[in-house]
């Protein structure tokens, strides 16, 4: 299986312009985000042959949001292929990024392999804990599908602001 995202360009934009106008009209008529997944063949000038391109077009409050994916998988329904394979891979990449950035999975700066392995194991365990916390304890709340960073900051991180009050009447100042 192979697939990669394709940056929007003038030729791709011209190819989907009519569909985007239909989605825009649908959004303006209903007020609901409009979505279309389709496919076509396309060849960039540097390619030796045309390839299958999946396109996911959305139109909502922020306007048009197109995505293009080149794939060599044949025979699958475009919507099923986009949603079940391409989006799932993107979601896996999001979880990796979350472990690295939000759960400190990049802290492998020790010179010893075992220490780095242990740190990565702790980050993986923290990621699993956050996922299970969202699925069980946070089910039905606004944090049910929150990122690890949001759960950490809003639920687990305890902030304290120490305050010190000085009664100046009781302080002897020598001038």
Q: Which tens digit of pLDDT belongs to each residue from 62-72?
A: 999 898 988 88
Domain boundaries, the chain: 1-92, 102-157
- Indicate the pLDDT class of residue 169, thresholds 50, 70 and 90: low
CB 87 within 8 A of CB 68: no
Concatenated DSSP letters for 84-151?
IIIHHHHHHHHHHHHHHHTS-TT----SSHHHHHHHHHHHHHHHHHHHHHHHTTTTTSTTTT--HHHH
Query: pTM here?
Result: 0.54
Q: Which tens digit of pLDDT belongs to each residue from 149-163?
A: 888 888 877 766 677
Q: Which tens digit of pLDDT belongs to each residue from 110-134?
A: 778 888 778 778 877 887 888 888 8
């Amino acid at each position: 299986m192979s697939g990669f995202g394709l940056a929007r360009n003038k030729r791709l934009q011209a190819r989907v312009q009519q569909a985007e106008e239909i989605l825009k009209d649908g959004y303006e008529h209903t007020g609901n985000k409009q979505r279309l997944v389709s496919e076509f063949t396309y060849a960039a000038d540097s390619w030796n042959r045309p390839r299958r391109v999946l396109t996911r077009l959305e139109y909502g409050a922020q306007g048009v949001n197109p995505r293009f994916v080149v794939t060599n998988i044949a025979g699958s329904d475009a919507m099923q292929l986009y949603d079940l394979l391409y989006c799932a891979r993107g979601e896996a990449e999001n979880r990796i990024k979350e472990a690295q950035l939000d759960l400190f999975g990049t802290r492998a700066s020790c010179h010893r392999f075992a220490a780095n392995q242990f740190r990565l194991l702790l980050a993986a365990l923290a990621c699993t804990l956050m996922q299970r916390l969202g699925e069980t304890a946070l089910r039905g709340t606004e944090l049910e599908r929150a990122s690890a960073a949001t759960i950490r900051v809003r639920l687990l991180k305890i902030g304290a602001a120490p305050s010190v009050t000085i009664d100046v009447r009781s302080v002897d100042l020598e001038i």
